[in-house]
Structure 1
Amino acid sequence: MMHSNSLDNAPTQSLISVVNGILDESIERKKGEIPHRVVYLLRKVVQEIERRLYIQAEHIRSQNVIMKRREQKYCSKIKVLEMLVNGTNEENQMAINRLQIVKNEKSKIEERRKLSEQDVHRLMREKEHSENIIANLKKDIEAMNRLHEQQLEQTERKAKEMEEQLTTKVKEVEYLLLQSKKKVEEVETASRLKSQLWDKKEDNFQSHMDNQQLIIKDIRILSRSCENDMYALQMQWRNEISNLGSGLKCLVDAAENYHKVLAENQKLFNEVQELKGNIRVYCRVRPFLSGQDKKSTTIDYMGENGELLISNPFKQGKDGHRLFKFNKVFSPFASQAEVFSDIQPLIRSVLDGFNVCIFAYGQTGSGKTYTMSGPSTSKQDWGVNYRALNDLFDISLSRRNAFSYEVGVQMVEIYNEQVRDLLSNDIAQRRNAWDLEHFSTQWACCSRCKLALS
């Protein structure tokens, strides 16, 4: 740190570096106090910078005045020389030379004047910069003073509380001392009457005084322990608050990682569905109806891997048996839940943004309506349509904190190569049939769901 007596000889750049160093130190301390010696040194440095700026400004002003006088003098000489131009050729040549010299000197003077003006602007900028530094220093000093005053008020408040506690304890001790004095007086009066019991009373009094002193010591120790406990509690609260902050940060990181893992799981799930096949064909064998002969079945074998062997009693040899291969074959005893279990993962792919189409194909009476809708409205007999919609709403409800879904349903009828909108409010539009050849492929299913993800 530079001494205050050596400020006059120190360069301006070193003074500015001193001010910046003090500012950096005050910023690092933050809540610390700035010593009076540092404040005094800052004031001296600022005064010295202002004095130097003022001296340089005065010097530049005097130089400008001198330059203007010289310029006026040279202008008068130029006028005289111009008047002498009408003389002889030799005099004209000499005048022209002198005029050229004067013009050169004038250009030099103008360059010096420009440099002086640049110096003035630079000094003004340095002065503004120093004034900003001074204002910032004043603000920092005021903030430090306010912080110091707050700390003083807190310490004074704590001191007053401790004084009140001590006064109450002193009053209690004085009260006990008054009681002990009364007892002493009683002992003295009793000693006058009964000299034999004097020693015993004196011993009792002395023991009582010792007990009172021990009580006072215990009270002091208790007050110190209370202060230590309060300090320990404060440190414990600070540690708990810091631990809570770190725990919250860990929770935030875990939430971010959860969203990343969730996105990766969705991607892997859909990749698994694509590996299983974008087009899957399942076969469900309808059980015999009442009144039908169960012995007239044409199914010889149903494999676990999707094999189905059909026999034709009207043909012999190899032509009498044909083997078909599906993704899976459901037996006549398969429930609605078992049929939907293989299709259920595709519902989740719908909510992940993939197009899915599920339809039943077969001749009349083969069980298409039974599989897609179900025989009744009970939850156990629900078909693929009801179960798919139920899963759509369940999954969208579970993702409501991360995604917002909009579900729309459209139902059309294809009959005799004509398409009708069964959910349209316009009766005329419902009756008017659309030509199936010009109908979009997206209406090829009997029912369709639209989902908008946001």
Structure 2
Amino acid sequence: MSRLPRPNPDIDRHHQLSSSVPTMNSTNLKRKAVDDGATDVQPRKRLAPIPESKQPLQDSKTGPNINITKRTTTGPPPLTRPRGPPLSTATTRRTTRATSAPPTRPGSSASTSRPTVTRRPIAGRTPSGSGATNDQRFNALQQQVTSIETARAADAARLAADMEAERAKLSELQENHLALSRELAAAKTQDIDRRRELADASEEIDQLKKKHANIVMDLEMDLKKKDRENRELKEDLRMAKSDLERERETVSTLKATVSHQSTAQITFTTQITALQAQVTALQTALDMSSNQKSNTELKLETAQKRIEELEQETRQAETLRRKLHNMVQELKGNIRVFCRVRPILASDLPFSSHSSSGSDCGSRSSSPDDTQRLAETVKADIVYPDKLDHREIVVSSSSESATGQERKDEWAFAFDKVFEPHSTQSEVFEEISQLAQSCTDGYNVCVFAYGQTGSGKSFTMEGGPTDATAGMIPRAVEQVFEVADELKKKGWEYTMEGQMLEIYNETINDLLGKGEFDKKKHEIKHDFKTGRTTVTDVNVLPLSSPSQVRSLLALAQSRRTVASTLMNERSSRSHSVFTLRIRGENKMTGETCEGSLNLVDLAGSERLEKSGAGSDKERLRETQAINKSLSALGDVIAALGEKGEGKGDKHIPYRNSKLTYLLQNSLSGNSKTLMVLNLSPLATHLNESLCSLRFATKVNNTTIGTAKKQLRAANGSA
């Protein structure tokens, strides 16, 4: 039990003193006491309230004059401004025109001066008639003014006396206020001292209580600590007994284990002996393996040398293959002509001529027998006598003369290859694939399709949507990529890029561009040192896969200019030129090459009366431009033939058309050129087919010289 603190006599005395001090407002306790020595300066803060009246005083200002808005003590009534006696009505009326100076305040030097009165005549009266009466009135008025001034002087004296009395009272009140403020400050100081003593006593009591509580807490903690130590000792004793029992069991187990280990030691000794024998055998095998490894490394080194020799032979064989391949292509001719006759299409059959008999007849016409019969009626007389090499085509025509006799004409033509209507796209490309190989070897290759509208040029070059109907352009690009991949094993690295142009009305359009046609002026430039042909302001896209080429062809086909004629519903009214540039480099041998593959789909060639373009000015202009460019192509080939026959330095008119100028390097002796002649099998197109066959024969009989390989130096120039 803690003892209670003894009562402190100082604290009781402080309570008695604090109870005797009257209770004051909390706001007054927070104010500071006024300094006793500053009696001659008025305080700027609010004064303490006077205990008797319990009314707060107003703020004191610096200076003796203080305006008191509320009276705190009884005294004389407030002073008022003295007023003079009222004047009579008659006197006021007579003196309205007079002016005088205002009375001055008491104490001024001019307070006793008499105002000057100026007399003015009254309207309607003459001063000469009543002079004595006016003097009397003036004297009376002057007496009244004198009495008013006397009363004002008396009032001013009385007011001054009252002001002096008020100032004396105010001074007395201020002195009382200062005395009360000093008493209040002394009381506050005493109260603060008593409160400080009370706080000290309370703090001492609290410290004694805390000390007693700490002592009690320490004793309780010691007691708990003793109890915890007792429990821990008991737990340690229990654990020690448990450990002792466990150690006894462990000793028993170890004794049994020692017994087993003795037996196992004997067994291990026997095993060690056997393992040592095995190690000896393995060491012997290791020595044998080391010898075999040395032999194998020697064989491997020999094999690597052999591989290097074989790779060198392969590279030499590749160079020889390129030479032999080029020799084979030169033996075949640097300009070759293939002829392909397309099959009869359903749109070629005259179903409309049988539609008048009704739907039954139409259904009979759609049967296979009727289709075959109609095909025979519209088919031209074309035979292929060379069944072995497929190089000949014979066209026959029968007509009736004026005498009624039947006249039969026959024309035979021979080309490098003739493809019958049942030939597939893969069969046609089989003959062209060797030219694609030449392109990767560093030669310029040009393949262009020639023929009338509707003869199958676009199908031959671009093909259909399926893999089986793919045309020469996608197949040639795919062939180039396959060859490039195969040559990677022999150290060749290739980069490829492509462009697609259209020549329409002697204007070059970029089919892979983003803007509208005819917005840019494209110019053809030839570099005779490198043998490269470039067109300004066209998009040349890098190619990484054959699928990318198919997408570009689809885009170009959608932008190509087509129109409807009597010969074909969607006739190509322009020439399209797809150019694939290939650059190769062999880091092993240091060889470089650069080739280009030009795949050209020429516009349809037909006469005006056959195409029906004469009635349309736009179609007429297109047809004239097409025929002009094809005629220029024939002139270039004829000039090349004359030059090849050794008829001197023959001028080649490449500049007569944009087509021949663009294909200048492909039609000269630096290129391998292939012309695919496309023919229509219809009898109505026989005359157009004969014109095309004669032109192809002229091309086939032309010799343009020997193709030259385009080499590329280390800096990229040929």
Structure number having the greater helix percentage: 1
TM range (shorter): 0.3 to 0.5
Larger RCO (alpha carbons 8 Å, 6+ apart): 2
Structure number having the greater strand percentage: 2
Scaled by the length of structure 2, the TM-score of the pair is 0.30
Scaled by the length of structure 1, the TM-score of the pair is 0.46
